[in-house]
Amino acid sequence: MRPTLLELEGFTCYRQRVVVPFGEVKGPLAIAGPTGSGKSSLLDAILFALYGQVPRVGRQVASLVTKGERRAAVRFEFDHGEARYRVVRTTYSNTRPATAQLERIDEDEVRIADGVREVNARLQHLLGLTHEAFMQAVILPQGRFASFLQARPSDRRSLLTELLGLEILNDMGSLANEEARTARDRSSFIEEQLAGDFTDATVEAVEALEAELASLGRTIASLERGQQAAEQQLVVLRRRREATRRWRGARRRREALQLDAPRIEAARIALEAHARARQLEGPRDTAVRTAAAHSRAVSALEAATTRLAQRRAAQATAQAAHDAAEARALEIPGWRGRLAQLVRLEEQRRARQRQEKLLADLETRLSRGRSAAGELEATLAEVVAEGQRHAEALALALEQLAALGYDRDVHEQIKGQQQAGFELQRLEAALAESGVSLERLTAERGRLAALVVEAQGSVERTEATLAQARRRFAQARAAHRDAEGAHKAAALRDQLHVGHPCPVCDQAVVELPSASAPPELARSQQAMERAEREGQAARARWDEAVEAHKTAVQRLERLDAQLIEQQQQQQRTRAERDAAAEALRQAIDPWIPGAAPPLQRLAEATERLARAAEAHDALQARRQATERRHALAETRRGELSARYQEQRTRTTELQHEVDAARAQLEAMRPPDGVELGTEGLEVERRRLEASIEAAEATARATGAALAEARQALAVAQDRHQRAEADADAAAAEATAAAEAAEAAAIAAGFASLKAAAGAILSESAAAELQHTIETHVRERQQAEATEAEVAPIVADAPVSAVDVTRAEASLSANAAALKQQAEARARLAERCRGMRQRVGRARELREELLKARARGELYTALANELRGNRFPAWLLETEFRDLVKHASKRLFRFSGRYTLLYEDPDFLVVDHDNAMETRSTATLSGGETFLCSLALALELSEQIQRRAGSMHLDCLFIDEGFGTLDPETLDTVAEAIEDLAQGNRLVGLISHVATLTERMPSRLEVLKGQGGSTLSLDLAT
Amino acid sequence: MRIVHTSDWHAGRRWHRLDRDRELAEALGSLCRYVESEPVDLVLITGDQFDTATPPTRALKLVIDVLVRLGRQAPTVVIAGNHDSADQLEALGQLTKLANVHALGHPRDAGDGGVLRFTTAAGEPVVVAALPFARTCSMVSGLERQHSDLAADRRYDAGMRAMVGHLCAAFQPDAVNLLLIHTHLFGAQLSHSERPVHVGAAWAADASSLPPDAHYVAMGHIHKPQQIEEAAAPACYAGSPLQLDFGEEGQDKSFVVIEASPGRPAVLSRVPYEGGRRVRTWQGGLEELQRDAELLRSCDEHVRIELRLDSPRPDVNALVRELVPNTVLVRVHFPIEEEEEDSEPQRPATMALDEQFEAYHEGRYGTPAPEGLASAFSTIYTRASEQQG
């Protein structure tokens, strides 16, 4: 399967349509782009196209639709074997079901499969790989392929099992076990059956039964023979009995018949007469027939006569009616004339009506015209009045304007001075402010001066206190010293001993001084310290006062400076103000004379002029408005006037028209008396029309009736004539026939025809007689014959009924016994047959048992071999070794120096460049691990394809994993990949490692944008 | 005028974990010294300056240094080879132009920069037609390749001829005419260190496609220094400055010096590179190795040891490398070579489970699987396959 084209739209991050023309790619294709841009999505798209599912989301493919889009569509074309295919799938973000089509697109496009299920099935069949196998064989995903190398042996085994589809062995084992179990169950079932039902089904039993059957048969045979003999005897006996009876019966009959003979004779005579009479039948019939015909003809004649009379009457009636109708019809022309007159009258009336309407119409229009004219006149008057008003208002406005006497120029000038006025005002204010501030400062100064004096006083006071405190301290110190001295002296005094030298003056002590308690050192010390503290405090206070005084003086000085400054400022401001005032005054004097201060004058004038300006503007506006209105009014007036004139002319015209119409109407007045109400006219007209019609119709009808009646009469006459003729003929015939019949009767020996008639018997009577005669004769003959016949048989021994009955009874008893025996035999035969069947069945069962046992053993053996540790293990082992061997070769081709070994449970790498040193794969660098894993993965892919028996998959995608490779390994890998891409195989490389992707001749750059991802294709420049 | 032709530096090449750029720097240094000391009018560099499309910075620095030094002495023309990134060389060229080094990455039309013109100090005009490596896929599509190799070959050949013809049409009779080209010429001797993607008889250009009226055809790609006798005009592969791999053992590496004047045939000579280490292969047994160890250690070459052993010794690698530290690789050979199976038997396209079961049975019990068992296996297999769906 070699991809040639992939097209996506609305698929994951590819909102817009992107196309990858795989068919144009030569050599390896690098798929590069930032993380998350959608590189792996391209592979997902291929998986989706082929299998309708994607590992990330399984079968929930609706989530593959780009967010916000309605549908995702993928079109994927690929070559496979000799053919090129196209599969198109769409899936929707809502619940609408996904669609799929598969076509073959070589010379023409042939749809092969439609609908998701069918397409999936066809593709799986075509590719020969399940979804998982395809993924493993074709797409080597990020990091997955190292898993095989580094997995635990048990994981490796299960992985290999899964990939090569060897789980089927499990199923097979189960199935084999099932088969074995089924076979065993069958065996035991058969055994049970054999033990239960068939123990007695032996050949010997059959034989015994057969013997019994045979003997019974013999018994029955002899019984049957006896029966036959008895039957024969019975037959004879019956015959003889029969004969006896017959002989007796015949004799009796013969005698009875002889007695009956005379009756029979009489019957014969009657019969003969009957025969003779019958011969007269013919002539008699003729006579009767003709008589009847004659009477029929007579009655017919009567009927025809009656009918003729009827028809004559009818004709007369019709004639009368017709004459009446004709008389009536003569009135018609007169009526027609009247009708025409009426129509003319009607027309005239209508014309008059029209004229009246016209007149009314014209009058209406006239009145309307008049009223319109009246309105216009009124409106015109109004407008004129309005115009007048406007003119007055205008005059007024003009007056007022003049009265205002506003001079714009003056106003402008004044406005110009506005600014100067403001300035002057500001200066005034400043001046006032500085006056205020000066006062404040002066006040402040006074206060500060007082403060200085106070501070000075304070300083003097504290100084005095300080001197005092010092003095006190000096005193306290002196006191303390004294106390110390006294203390020392007291202490020393202890050491004084009379006669010993004084420690102070070294002279011998003569007498001890009087002990006196030394003053409390502590107390004096305390006093001294207290005095010292007081002194310090006083000093501090003095310092403070001095400081305060200094500060106050400083502040006073500063304030003085400020004051001077302020005064100077004030002076300046005053000067400015004066100057400005003067300037202003000069400026406005020409325009606003007066004595008041210029500012005041300015303000007044400004206000005044402003007001005047307002009023002036208002007036101007009003004047303009009034002018406009006046002009408008004038225009309207003109218009209205014209219209009014027009209207009057029109009205006059209309008046003329009305007069003319009225005159015409007068002319149309009808002459007096001929005015009929419309209804009366109408009624009469209808009446006349009806009458005319009726009369005409009647005349026609009666004419027709008359003709008919005439015709009927003619027919009846004709008929009557014919009937007369018939009657005559019939009479003649009848007479002739009667005479002939009579003659014949006499000839036959009868007295008359009537007598002959009497001799006739009915058919049945005649027949009966005949029959009686014949019977008698026959019976007599029979009886005589029978008698003669059986006489010899009976001869000597007549057999009675009783004899026969006895013989019959014994026979039937015998027959019953025979039947019983026969039944017994039948039952026995049945048993025998049954037994034979069972024996046969038993044999079959035993055979079956053998087969089932054999089958059970076979499948048990198979299941045994299919156990995990037998064939599956061997298979796995073999596959694995195969894998390693070929992967090792591949690795050597890639790296030029490494091969692979497998020593349970690890892989080892043999380094040919280092004297075939073996190392565990755990010691390999990242790059080397990569190469090993790649070799294994490629080999796995190969094996998967071979196991699936599929056509070679001419494509391979490697998804990431290159990030950890050093440059040398990267080089090796790049070369290996280029090598892989030999032939027509499509090798796709997904990586973000630039050094690798830049080396590939074809590059597909995935660009992540705002609206989704797009592709930029760079094919082998 | 005097022209210098060098090629196939392969800077940045990692060879058995060794980085040989320092050696390359030495060799190229000798080239630069020559160009600086002798009066040279033009320098030609015919491709594969770098070993990969993304060379390490060190290599880039080395190459730029050399180019700058060369450019200072004489105009230099550089073309891209099959190892280089054409785009990168073009980018570099924009700067090196300022240093009097003209670099072409992609093949161009004559008017678009494919032909360069110079005038030497002596006033002799030079016309240089420069044809960087052209990828086969730009001339032959994958589909063509698939359908017919022969047709594809002819397309490639024709394409090459056309490009060469177009560029060499600019030759002038009163100038020295030169062609630079990076390709595999049919009949050249390989060293097997050339990258196999391009090397192969299938994509070889023919000597007849070279212009007969060139003074000299400078060729790059093959690492063994050689002159192509079949060509009508003097044509040489300059060869690589170093012995890049063991296939180049014994080759003396040199650059070509061409004396040429308009209207007169060129005179060629070779100047050896100085610097860089050679490669050497040593064969023998352990005792011999120990005897020669001293010699090998001191020879300052990259050594390949082909060791004969009777039986595997796990420590032999360490031993050898200790004896001879400048060993690059150690191959061991045993008396009875295992079946290398280079030509592997054709693996069956599919592996049927039934057949494998037979093989298993035979292997385990010594007898082929009995008929009943084999058919039972097949039956169960079919059933299980159907169950799987």
Alpha carbon of B351: minimum distance to chain A alpha carbons (Å)? 5
Q: Which of A864, A916, A962 has the highest number of chain B CBs within 10 A, making it the mutation to test binding with B?
A: A916
Q: Residue B147: which CATH number?
A: 3.60.21.10
Residue B133 has pLDDT above 90, yes or no: no
Residues of chain A above pLDDT 70, percent: 96
* pLDDT value for B199: 46
Residues B293, B366 within the same domain: yes
With contact defined as beta carbons under 8 Å apart, do B323 and B290 qualify? yes
A344 Cβ contact partners less than 8 Å away, ≥ 6 residues apart: none
Q: How confident is the model at residue A949 (pLDDT cuts 50, 70, 90)?
A: low
Of A168, A176, A947, which has the smallest distance from its Cβ to B351's Cβ?
Answer: A947
| Chain A residues 130-159 within an 8 A CB cutoff of chain B | none
* pLDDT value for A28: 83
The C-alpha angle B200, B205, B209, rounded to 5 degrees, equals: 170
Residues B126, B13 within the same domain: yes
DSSP string, A465-477: HHHHHHHHHHHHH
Residues B299, B357 within the same domain: yes
Beta-carbon separation of B360 and A875 below 8 A: yes
Paired sense of beta strands B101-104 and B76-79, if any:
parallel
Q: Can you tell me the distance from the alpha carbon of A717 to that of A736, in angstroms, rounded to the nearest whole number?
A: 31
Amino acid identity at A233: Q
Gyration radius from chain A CA atoms: 82
Beta-carbon separation of B14 and A859 below 8 A: no
* pLDDT value for B200: 44
Residue A75 has pLDDT above 50, yes or no: yes
Q: B353: which chain A residues are within 8 Å (Cβ-Cβ)? A: 168
Q: How far is CA A574 from the centre of its chain?
A: 96
Of residues A874 and A1021, more confidence is placed in A874
Q: Kindly identify which residue of chain B lies nearest to residue A942, measuring between CA atoms.
A: B349
Q: Can you tell me the distance from the alpha carbon of A383 to that of A636, in angstroms, rounded to the nearest whole number?
A: 7
Looking at beta carbons, which pairs linking A898-907 to residues 24 or more positions away fall under 8 Å? Answer: A898/A928, A898/A931, A898/A932, A900/A932, A900/A935, A900/A936, A904/A153, A905/A152, A905/A153, A907/A149, A907/A932
Of B135, B307, B388, which has the smallest distance from its Cβ to A168's Cβ?
Answer: B388
Q: B147: which chain A residues are within 8 Å (Cβ-Cβ)? A: none
Please state the length of chain B: 389
Residues B266, B284 within the same domain: no
Mean of pLDDT values over A323-328: 84
| Chain A residues 389-418 within an 8 A CB cutoff of chain B | none
Of B135, B195, B332, which has the smallest distance from its Cβ to A1001's Cβ?
Answer: B135
Alpha carbon of B90: minimum distance to chain A alpha carbons (Å)? 14
Of B52, B143, B380, which has the smallest distance from its Cβ to A176's Cβ?
Answer: B380
Tokens matching residue A193 = 């059956």
| Cα–Cα nearest to B165, from B110, B116, B236, B231 | B110
Of B231, B246, B272, the residue that ends a domain is B272
Q: How confident is the model at residue A38 (pLDDT cuts 50, 70, 90)?
A: confident
Alpha carbon of A206: minimum distance to chain B alpha carbons (Å)? 39
Of A179, A946, A1001, which has the smallest distance from its Cβ to B349's Cβ?
Answer: A946
* pLDDT value for B197: 46
Of B16, B350, B383, which has the smallest distance from its Cβ to A175's Cβ?
Answer: B383
Q: Can you tell me the distance from the alpha carbon of A355 to that of A573, in angstroms, rounded to the nearest whole number?
A: 109
Backbone phi, psi, residue A642, to 5°: -60, -50
Residue with tokens 């499309």: B53
Mean of pLDDT values over B287-293: 87
Mean of pLDDT values over A922-937: 79
With contact defined as beta carbons under 8 Å apart, do A1013 and A1007 qualify? yes
Alpha carbon of A22: minimum distance to chain B alpha carbons (Å)? 11
Q: B314: which chain A residues are within 8 Å (Cβ-Cβ)? A: 917-918
Residue A951 has pLDDT above 70, yes or no: no
With contact defined as beta carbons under 8 Å apart, do A55 and A47 qualify? yes
Assess: ipTM above 0.95: no
Give the model confidence (pLDDT) of A426-479 as tens digits.
Answer: 888 888 888 898 899 889 889 989 989 999 998 999 889 889 888 888 888 888
Paired sense of beta strands A139-140 and A955-959, if any:
parallel
Q: Can you tell me the distance from the alpha carbon of A844 to that of A852, in angstroms, rounded to the nearest whole number?
A: 12
Q: Flag the least confident range among A451-465, A792-806, B168-182.
A: A792-806
β partners of residue B18: B15
Q: Can you tell me the distance from the alpha carbon of B49 to that of B81, in angstroms, rounded to the nearest whole number?
A: 7
Residues B205, B230 within the same domain: yes
* pLDDT value for B140: 53
Q: How confident is the model at residue B50 (pLDDT cuts 50, 70, 90)?
A: very high
Tokens matching residue B88 = 């990168």
| Mean per-residue pLDDT of chain A | 83
Residues of chain A above pLDDT 90, percent: 5
* pLDDT value for B23: 93
Tokens matching residue B338 = 């295992």
Alpha carbon of A983: minimum distance to chain B alpha carbons (Å)? 7
DSSP string, B51-73: SSSS--HHHHHHHHHHHHHHHHH
**Upper half-sphere CA count for residue B111 (Cβ side, 13 Å):** 0
Q: Which of A172, A912, A1003 has the highest number of chain B CBs within 10 A, making it the mutation to test binding with B?
A: A172
With contact defined as beta carbons under 8 Å apart, do A524 and A480 qualify? yes
Of B272, B291, B320, the residue that ends a domain is B272
Q: Is A176 on the interface with B (CB under 8 A)?
A: yes
Give the three-state DSSP class for A968: helix
pTM of the model: 0.51
* pLDDT value for B351: 64
Q: Can you tell me the distance from the alpha carbon of B221 to that of B217, in angstroms, rounded to the nearest whole number?
A: 13
Tokens matching residue A2 = 């070699």
Alpha carbon of B278: minimum distance to chain A alpha carbons (Å)? 19
Beta-carbon separation of A874 and B364 below 8 A: yes
Backbone phi, psi, residue B238, to 5°: -65, -35
| Rounded-to-5 percentages of helix, strand, coil across chain A | 75, 10, 15
Beta-carbon separation of B137 and A946 below 8 A: no
Tokens matching residue A481 = 């010293």
Strand order in the sheet with A1012-1019: A139-140, A955-959, A986-990, A29-32, A1002-1009, A1012-1019
Q: Can you tell me the distance from the alpha carbon of A119 to that of A111, in angstroms, rounded to the nearest whole number?
A: 11
Give the three-state DSSP class for A394: helix
β partners of residue A388: none
Q: Can you tell me the distance from the alpha carbon of A338 to that of A320, in angstroms, rounded to the nearest whole number?
A: 30
Beta-carbon separation of A946 and B350 below 8 A: yes
Beta-carbon separation of B380 and A179 below 8 A: yes
Sign of CA dihedral A123, A125, A131, A133: negative
Of residues B82 and A519, more confidence is placed in B82
Mean of pLDDT values over A872-901: 85
Q: Which of A860, A877, A917, A951 has the highest number of chain B CBs within 10 A, making it the mutation to test binding with B?
A: A917
With contact defined as beta carbons under 8 Å apart, do A525 and A534 qualify? no
Tokens matching residue A89 = 């799938």
Q: A978: which chain B residues are within 8 Å (Cβ-Cβ)? A: 197
**In terms of residue numbers, what domain contains B125?**
2-272
Q: How confident is the model at residue B340 (pLDDT cuts 50, 70, 90)?
A: low
A324 Cβ contact partners less than 8 Å away, ≥ 6 residues apart: A702
Q: Kindly identify which residue of chain B lies nearest to residue A994, measuring between CA atoms.
A: B54
Q: B347: which chain A residues are within 8 Å (Cβ-Cβ)? A: 946
Residues B132, B73 within the same domain: yes
Q: Kindly identify which residue of chain A lies nearest to residue B85, measuring between CA atoms.
A: A999
Residues B252, B352 within the same domain: no
| Cα–Cα nearest to B167, from B199, B125, B210 | B210
Give the model confidence (pLDDT) of A397-429 as tens digits.
Answer: 888 888 877 777 877 877 778 888 888 888 888
Beta-carbon separation of A858 and B137 below 8 A: no
Residues B230, B256 within the same domain: yes
β partners of residue A911: A898, A917
Give the three-state DSSP class for B114: coil
Q: Can you tell me the distance from the alpha carbon of A866 to that of A178, in angstroms, rounded to the nearest whole number?
A: 13
β partners of residue A178: none
Residue A82 has pLDDT above 90, yes or no: no
Residues B365, B333 within the same domain: yes
Q: Can you tell me the distance from the alpha carbon of A632 to that of B187, in angstroms, rounded to the nearest whole number?
A: 113
Mean of pLDDT values over A83-97: 88
Mean of pLDDT values over B289-306: 88
Give the three-state DSSP class for B275: coil
Mean of pLDDT values over B375-386: 84
Strand order in the sheet with A83-92: A18-20, A2-9, A71-80, A83-92, A99-105, A109-114
Beta-carbon separation of A179 and B317 below 8 A: no
Of B53, B137, B312, which has the smallest distance from its Cβ to A916's Cβ?
Answer: B312
Residues B103, B235 within the same domain: yes
Mean of pLDDT values over A7-30: 86
Q: Flag the least confident range among A199-213, A707-721, B114-128.
A: A199-213
DSSP string, A546-580: HHHHHHHHHHHHHHHHHHHHHHHHHHHHHHHHHHH
Alpha carbon of B344: minimum distance to chain A alpha carbons (Å)? 10
Residues B196, B302 within the same domain: no
Q: How confident is the model at residue B25 (pLDDT cuts 50, 70, 90)?
A: very high
Of residues B79 and A874, more confidence is placed in B79
Tokens matching residue A492 = 């020393």
Residues B373, B258 within the same domain: no
Residue B26 has pLDDT above 60, yes or no: yes
| Cα–Cα nearest to B256, from B247, B265, B267, B246 | B267
Alpha carbon of A878: minimum distance to chain B alpha carbons (Å)? 9
* pLDDT value for B201: 44
A905: preceding bond cis by omega (within 30 degrees): yes
Q: Which of B360, B377, B381 has the highest number of chain A CBs within 10 A, making it the mutation to test binding with A?
A: B360
Q: Is A812 on the interface with B (CB under 8 A)?
A: no
Q: How confident is the model at residue B15 (pLDDT cuts 50, 70, 90)?
A: confident
Q: How confident is the model at residue A671 (pLDDT cuts 50, 70, 90)?
A: low
Residue B341 has pLDDT above 70, yes or no: no
Give the model confidence (pLDDT) of B162-171 as tens digits.
Answer: 888 888 888 9
CA distances from A785 to A247, A288, A780 (A): 10, 52, 9
With contact defined as beta carbons under 8 Å apart, do B219 and B183 qualify? yes
Amino acid identity at A646: E
Q: Is A851 on the interface with B (CB under 8 A)?
A: no
The number of distinct structural domains making up chain B is 2
Q: Can you tell me the distance from the alpha carbon of B139 to that of A778, in angstroms, rounded to the nearest whole number?
A: 137
Of B213, B241, B272, the residue that ends a domain is B272
* pLDDT value for B356: 83
B186 Cβ contact partners less than 8 Å away, ≥ 6 residues apart: B201, B204, B205, B206, B207
Give the model confidence (pLDDT) of B193-243 as tens digits.
Answer: 666 545 444 556 778 888 888 999 999 989 999 998 888 899 999 999 999
* pLDDT value for A797: 67
Residue B36 has pLDDT above 60, yes or no: yes
Residue A32 has pLDDT above 90, yes or no: no
With contact defined as beta carbons under 8 Å apart, do A983 and A28 qualify? no
* pLDDT value for A77: 92
